[in-house]
Structure formats: structure tokens, C-alpha cells
Structure 1
Amino acid sequence: MASITEQNDGINRKKSFYRSVPFQIAVAAGVSFTAPGMWDALGGLGAGGAAEPFAVSAANAILYALFAVFCVLAGAINNRIGLKWGLAIGVSDFAIGYPLYGAGLYTNNKTATTWFMIFGSVCCGISAGFFWAAEAAIIIGYPSPKERGFYLACWQTAKASGPIIGGAITLGLNANRETAGSVGSATYIVFIVLMCLGLPIALCLSPASKVWRKDGTRVVVHKHASLWEELRAVVKLATSRRIVLLVPAFFISYFYNPFVSTWLTSYFTVRSRAFSSFFTPFAGICSSFIIGTFLDKQSIHIRTRARIAFATIVIIMTGTWIWAIILQKRFYDNPPVFDWFQGGFGSAYALVFLWTFIGQSFQQYLYWVVGQYTTDLSSLSHHTGILRGLEALGQTVAWAMQSEAGVNHFVSIGMNFGILLIAVIPTWIVVSALDHTHEIVVTEQTGIPGKNDEEEDIVKSGGHTPALSE
């Protein structure tokens, strides 16, 4: 294994690449590629590739309801049992839960059997809650604050690469399907196999205490005395002024996704949906690096960066929902079925592309914002658990709205647009208060005699305490 030797306080320290931040992000990205990436590829088909979206939408509503609960709880549980074991449980269950979900979609596609699809959704919702609370903390907490935008973009790219490769597989297997309907069964088999690769990749992850950053700072973990204290810390954070103000933004950040799934199923042929599954993730990759590069730009004050990025996101999102209203009125008057690159396909598909472009930017932006308000990895785990939990709650409502035949698409458009507007002012208040990162800065020094770990962290950070995160 490659290593780096540095001189620090007169001590030569050999640093293994295996313990570096880039390697940890690569591991997390690899797991994201195999499991949620493949899940997104199925979602990119519209309704998990099924001919009718309603049963799949109901299953997804159950999935996200469980996801919302377990994601918040996992933020506390992971800290209590130790980050290493919390991550192991999350990724292990995740690697099992997602293949079961894929298998459920397969059986529903073959025999219209819904019970196994529901069972797969339950398993997936529980496992995903643990996984996302853990992985979000890794992606934001392991890198130093000035590199978070870049590593968030790398993570989003890996997550998007799953749908790209999965979409290419789907496109190859369904390129001759010129009509609406369900995708071929072989599509699900390939996805399930890829999903199962997540667990062995996840086992390569290092615990936070052994990770080193190139700027010499350390990842700090502050564990509470008991699980009850961890849960109390989560409740305290969840009811804090800052988090309450961010609730609408967390809730709406991925609310659009179920509507996009139904939109694709309703108005696009199988092969045009397969094309969307392959090509649309490039939108998220582009936007992730654009916003990540800007948010890491240290020459611009952090508050200015936050305001400019948020204002741009809101303006583009507003444009997409106005565009959606215009197109939806046209579609209700004369319902289309778009084949690729034919008769109005461009204007309808461009909207799907833009939703992904700006939606991924918004999610990445929110991760970055909460990362600036945390003091250590444990606090960050609480933050990201709440963020992902509320995001999943939003998707629970959104999927439930798509679970009935004859759903009025204007209702979905109106809710997406309306909650976005509600989120603008409270989110602006939060980002306008940004002045610097609150992360505890601990450098790689020898221990301070006579002090426990928490006191030593506070001394090395210049007096910042974990209370700032709450």
C-alpha cells in the first residue's frame, strides 16, 4: 500500500493511502455506485420500469416512510456503538436491502406480485436509513471544510455513474421497445447482481479516528455517555431554531423525484425512458462539480457563496415548475407518448434533464450548509440523519401522491412549487448567518498531558466547543 511520510512537530509520521480521505471517499462512492446508483437507474426508467406506476409508487412510499424514521435514529445509534460498527451495520443491511427491493420489482414485473415488492421496500427502507446517515457523515465529515464541495461532487458523480451504466444496460436491452409498457425482465437481474457488490466494497472503509487529512487536521468524534444522551442530542438539534428554519428546504429537496418518475411513465415509451435513465445522470454530474467548485472558492466570503448559490438554485427551480405547468396543460389536452427524438420529445425531456441538474445541486448545497454548522463527526451524523430523514419524509408524501390512478399532475407541480417558495425566506435567514465553519480544528500533535480527549480537542481548537453545533 502506498504511503506518505510527513515531518510534524519533529516526528516522522508514515501515512498510508488506505487511511487517506481520497480512499475513504472512493470506498463510499463505490458503495453508492453499486446500490443507490442502481436504484436510481431503476427510478430513471419511470416507476421502476413497470408499465403502471401506482403499485410501485405505493411501495416506494412505504420505503421512504421507514427510511425517514431509521435515518434519524441511526444518527444517534451510529455514534453510540462506534462509527466503524455503525457504518458496517448500515452498509451491510444496505447491500442486502436494495437487492431485495430490486427482486421485488422483478417479481412484480413478471407476475404482478405485489407482496414481495412491499417486503423488499420494507427491508430497503430500514437498511437505507442506516446507510445514508452513515455515508452522508463520511462524505461531509472526513474531508476538511475547504474540500467538501469537491468531494461532495465526486460522491454525486459516483452515485450518478450507477444510473449511467445501468441506463446503458437498460438501453441495450430495451432499444427495440417502441411502445409504452414495462422493461424486459433481464434488466432487473443485471441490476440485482450489481447491487450485491456493495457489501465487499464497504468493508474497506477506515474508522474516523484513523483517517488523516492532507492539511494535518484530524476528524473529531465526540461520543455521548449513553444512547439516551445521543437521542436527547438529536431531539435538541431537531428543535433548534436553525434546523426548524431549514425544515421546508430539507422536505422539498427531493420531492420532485416521484413526480418525474410518473411523468416518464405516463408520457414516454420504454426506450425513451431507457435513454433518460442513461443520459439524465450527466445533468447531476455537471451541476455537482459546478456548485462544488464554487462553494469551495475560499477567495469569496462564505456567506456570499451561500447566498449566490441558493439564489441561483431557486431561480432555476422556479423556471422549471413554470415550464412544467405549461407543458402539463398541453399534455392534458392531448396526451402524448414520446418516442426518442420524435415529435416534441426535446422540450419534454429537457425538463426532466433540468430537474435532475438543479435537484442534485440543491441536495449537495444543503449537505454543504449543514457541514458548516457542525463541530465534529458525531454532530454531523445527527445533522445528516435529520436532513435525510426529513428529505425521506418529503418523498414519502410525494410517492403516496403518485400511488393512485388518475392522480392530478397539477397537484404535484403545485406542491413542489409552493413548498419551494415557502422554503426561500427561512433558508435565506440561515445561510445569511454563515460567517465561518464551526468545525473543531484538531491538528496531528502529541497528546497534552493531564487532559482527557474532549478537553484536549477544545484546547487544540482554540476554545470552540461542541455546543456550537446545537
Structure 2
Amino acid sequence: MSDAQAEVEKLGSSSSSEDSGSQRAEIFDRPTGWRRYYYHPITQVSMLGFVCFMCPGMFNALTGLGGGGQVNSKDSANSNAGVYATFAFFGFFSGSVNNVIGARRTLMFGTWGYSLYIASFLAVNIHPGAGAFVVAVGPILGVCAAFLWTAQGSMMMSYPTEAQKGMFISIFWAIFNLGGVVGSAVAFGTNFHNTANGVGNGTYVGFLILTLIGIFIPLFMANPDKMIRTDGTRVNLVRHPSWKTEFLSLFVALKTDPWILLLFPMFFASNYFYTWQFNDYNGAIFNIRTRGLNNFMYWTSQIFGSVFIGYFVLDLKRVRRRVRALYGWVIVFFMVFVVHVWAYFYQKTYTRAQEAAKGAYKIDFLDKNYAAHVWLMIFYGFLDSMWQTYAYWLMGAMSNDPAKLAVFTGFYKSLQSAGAAGVWSADGASAPYMNIFLSTWCLTVAGMIFAAPMVYLRVTDHTEIEDEALMQMAGVERIEAPVVATEEST
């Protein structure tokens, strides 16, 4: 047996050898005065939400316009394929990087790629022959995004108590998606009288300024290791002494919690559906100002969808956590079929060749048939926010260990991006719209079916001590699950 295998065996089994009766968390006094509000977990998660409001939020607003707001969507599709390809690769290891350099530094490193991405579209608007720049920037953004989202997941899922995780995810998701709402409103307003079917320079300049603001917000955030939860337990972050130990944590996480494998199909599908929604529906059959309005409705509905499932379903205090997990699965599975059956009847009416033809009719928001079409975008927004919130909540239900959650988030973003890279490549290669749509429908159904055994057999009413395995690595003491941090904590 190799040294690495021996260490994995040791780490994977050590949690079961201790006397759980002696394991208690130390309770700390929360800060007073203005520090009480600054170091409050909700304040910090809200600031985290505004980082993603400014950076990924503007990316989403631009992507949601279809083709990044350009007439020719191929450069955007190929750039997004590059984004998600590098995102997938670096996302698998980004949890290890996060645990070595710290979540705040990882977050700061991840923001700047979004400004470069927006700037590349501005460059294409000014110099139409610069499409290669957009494609080249995609992989750079993918590296940055991997680190940003891993840091985000680690902080968002470790700051709340067990009873607050759905609420915290909802708060973050609402603020984050306000970025898409604001960006879409800017695009709609600045292009209201635009007849060119592509956005103007002013839209890109506005997005660029907002992403630049987002780069500086992490400088004002608190270090996660200074955070104390509302029940008095400290959010202690492990600093592992070597990269070797950190990379071993990937295998420890899989060995100690193999149930995470059943969530991998769900992770893979979680960004796959964006390509059809944005490029092959919104970008294909609507004119530019209507695409902006659709985008606004889509991201607004995300806020309500996340709050509904996170706060009113997954954090429902009158019901045990295992039951809430099953409620969440049923609701998301039902929404998958509602939106895809509905969308199928629209997709049958047009093809890529028909929409690419010169002079092809594009729906405007003043047209009589617009209302039914925009409601589909609204319901897709509901589905997306419920899917993502539920996935994060399931990971948070498996552990309270920030190091382990960083690894889980890395898995999540890596597989999510692998799926997105594949479908954006297919779209860039002009695959038929119907093929992309049907593959999206099949993957979302498969993701929920594979997740069902994990939801039923793995989610418990309370997180157990054995779920905090990574805290023991390299001789660092684990953060013990507190008696007070139960489902009744407030």
C-alpha cells in the first residue's frame, strides 16, 4: 500500500474511533457594537452575494441576451465552451486551492476574469474582426470562475447553522440574481430603440464598470476564520501544511462520503440547460430588446424561486430535515417536466436553418403571441433557481465542515462546467435545436433520478460527527458538531 493510500485509509476511518459522547463545540461570545453587525453571518453572505451580483451576475445578464448580445452567436458559444472547459478542469482542484490560501483570497482572485470577458465583447463591438479575442478570453474566465465559485460555496454553506442553510442560500441567490435583473434592465433600456439586433457599446461599458466594482468588494469582507455563527460556534477553517495533503482531501471526501457520487449527474446537468434557454430559445426567436426583457423576467423569477424552495420548503421548521429533502426533490422533479413539456411544443415550430435565414421574423414584446412565450422564460427561471438551491442545500446537509464543503463545491462546479462546455461546443457547431433541447430534458430527468437514493438514504435529520472527516487531516483537530447547532437552532 502506498503512503497516499495509507493516509486516506487512516483519515477515512479515524472519525469512527472516537467517543462521540465527549465531542462538544466551544461556544464563543459574539462581537458587540458595530462589529456585531459587520461580523454577522447574514452580513457577510450578503456581501458575498454582491460580489456575485457584480461579476457572475453581469456574465449571466450578457449570456442571457443570446450570443452575448451579438448578431453572430458562434464566437460567444465557442468562448463559453472555453469558459466551461477550463472551469471543469480547475474546478476539480479549486477546493484544495481554497483550503490552502483561504476563501477570501480565492474569491478575490476569481473576480477579475469577468471584467476581461465583458471587455472582450466591447472590443468586438468597436472592432468587428476581433472575435478571436472573445474566444481566447473564455478559458481565462473559466480559471477565475472556478476559484470564485468554490470560495463562494465554502463560505455560503459553512456560515449558517444547520437550521438556517436554506435561508442563507436563498439570501445569496436573491442578491446574486439581482445582478442579472439589473444587467437585463440596463440592456433592455439602452436597446429599446435598437433595430440592429445587437447591443450597443453603452451596454457593455455599463457591465464593465459593475464588474470592476465587484473586484474590490472582497477587500472589505471579513476573514472566514473570524466568523462566529448565530449559535456561538466558530467557523474554523483548516490550513493544511502541504499541497499533497490538500489533494489527498479529494480522495478522502469521496471515500468518507461516496454518496456524493449520486449527485454527480445532477451537477453535470445544472448548467447544461442554459444553452438552449439563452441561445436556442431567447437568442433565436426574439429581437434584441425583447431578449433583454425576457432576461429581466428570467432573473427576477429566480429570486422568487430560490426564496420559495429555500426558506419555505427546505428550512420549514415544523418538518424533519429528511422529509424536507423529499419535498424538495418532488417539487424540482415536477418542475422539470412542466417546463420541458411546455418548451417542446414551441421547439417543434422552428429550426436553426429557419431562424438563421435573412429576414426571419423575430418576436417583439408588443406582439400578441409574446405573453405565452415569456411565461416559459419565467418558469425556466423558477426551475433553475430551485435546482441550484436544492443542490447546494443537499451538499450542506451532508457536512458542516468548510474544508469538506469546499471540496464538494469543487466537484459541483467542475461537473457542472463539464456539461456546459459540451453543450456550448455543440451549439457552436450548429447542432440542431431539437437535439440540444432533448438532451437537456433527458439529462435533467436523469440527474433527479440518480439523486433520489442519496436523498432518501443519506440525508439525516442532523449532521453527524462522522461527516466532518476532513477537519482531521494533517493532525489538525476537527471542529466538533455542537449540541446546540441542531435543527431547532435559530
- Name the TM-score, length of structure 1 as normaliser: 0.88
Q: Does 1:275 align with 2:298?
A: no
Quote the offset at 1:343 in angstroms: 3.5
AA of the residue aligned to 1:392: S
| Contact map agreement 1:291 1:309 (CA 8 A) in 2 | yes
Q: In structure 1, what is the Cα distance between the partners aligned to 2:378 and 2:92? A: 31
1:32-431 equivalences under 5 Å are: 32-81=52-101, 83=102, 86-88=103-105, 90-110=106-126, 111-178=128-195, 181-238=197-254, 241-262=258-279, 263-293=281-311, 294-332=313-351, 336-405=361-430, 407-431=431-455
AA of the residue aligned to 2:78: A
Distance 1:29 1:9, change over 3 A: closer
Q: Which moved more, 1:126-135 or 1:200-209?
A: 200-209
Quote the offset at 1:384 in angstroms: 0.9
5+ long unaligned stretches in structure 2: 1-25, 356-360, 467-474, 486-490
Partner secondary structure for residue 247 of structure 1: helix
> Equivalent pairs: percent with the same residue?
25
Q: Which moved more, 1:244-253 or 1:347-356?
A: 347-356
AA of the residue aligned to 1:54: K
Aligned to 1:448: none
Q: In structure 2, what is the Cα distance between the partners aligned to 1:235 and 1:338? A: 51
Q: Which moved more, 1:8-17 or 1:316-325?
A: 8-17
| Contact map agreement 1:316 1:358 (CA 8 A) in 2 | yes
Q: In structure 1, what is the Cα distance between the partners aligned to 2:254 and 2:367? A: 49
Deviations 1:174-213 (A, max 9, x none): 001256x211121101100110001221112222221112
5+ long unaligned stretches in structure 1: 1-7, 442-451, 465-470
Q: In structure 2, what is the Cα distance between the partners aligned to 1:174 and 1:151? A: 35
| Contact map agreement 2:110 2:145 (CA 8 A) in 1 | yes
AA of the residue aligned to 2:98: N
AA of the residue aligned to 2:328: A
Distance 1:13 1:23, change over 3 A: closer
Distance 1:461 1:92, change over 3 A: closer
Deviations 1:223-276 (A, max 9, x none): 444211211221343475312211110111121111112121110001101112
Quote the offset at 1:171 in angstroms: 1.4
Q: Which moved more, 1:326-335 or 1:210-219?
A: 326-335
Quote the offset at 1:118 in angstroms: 2.2
Aligned to 1:468: none
Aligned with residue 47 of structure 2, among 19, 23, 27: 27
AA of the residue aligned to 1:70: F
Distance 1:436 1:225, change over 3 A: farther
| Contact map agreement 1:109 1:182 (CA 8 A) in 2 | no
| Contact map agreement 2:398 2:463 (CA 8 A) in 1 | yes
| Contact map agreement 1:238 1:386 (CA 8 A) in 2 | no
Q: In structure 2, what is the Cα distance between the partners aligned to 1:72 and 1:12? A: 35
1:442-457 equivalences under 5 Å are: 454=477, 457=479
Q: In structure 2, what is the Cα distance between the partners aligned to 1:163 and 1:420? A: 23
| Contact map agreement 1:58 1:399 (CA 8 A) in 2 | yes
Deviations 1:336-363 (A, max 9, x none): 5110131322222221221111111101
Aligned to 2:10: none
Quote the offset at 1:421 in angstroms: 2.3
Moved over 4 A (4+): 8-13, 333-336
Deviations 1:4-51 (A, max 9, x none): xxxx98989646322220221121011011111111111121111011
AA of the residue aligned to 1:301: R
Quote the offset at 1:141 in angstroms: 1.0
Q: Which moved more, 1:217-226 or 1:34-43?
A: 217-226
AA of the residue aligned to 1:350: W
Distance 1:425 1:10, change over 3 A: closer
Q: In structure 1, what is the Cα distance between the partners aligned to 2:412 and 2:386? A: 15
Partner secondary structure for residue 330 of structure 1: coil
- Name the TM-score, length of structure 2 as normaliser: 0.84
Distance 1:11 1:241, change over 3 A: closer
Q: In structure 2, what is the Cα distance between the partners aligned to 1:190 and 1:123? A: 21
Aligned to 1:467: none
Q: Which moved more, 1:214-223 or 1:38-47?
A: 214-223
Structure number with higher relative contact order (C-alpha < 8 Å, ≥ 6 residues apart): 2
Aligned residues: 438
| Contact map agreement 2:157 2:400 (CA 8 A) in 1 | no
| Contact map agreement 2:158 2:400 (CA 8 A) in 1 | no
Quote the offset at 1:168 in angstroms: 1.6
AA of the residue aligned to 2:399: T
Q: In structure 2, what is the Cα distance between the partners aligned to 1:164 and 1:421? A: 28
Q: Alpha carbon RMSD of aligned pairs, Å?
A: 2.4
Q: In structure 2, what is the Cα distance between the partners aligned to 1:104 and 1:12? A: 45
Q: In structure 1, what is the Cα distance between the partners aligned to 2:370 and 2:248? A: 51
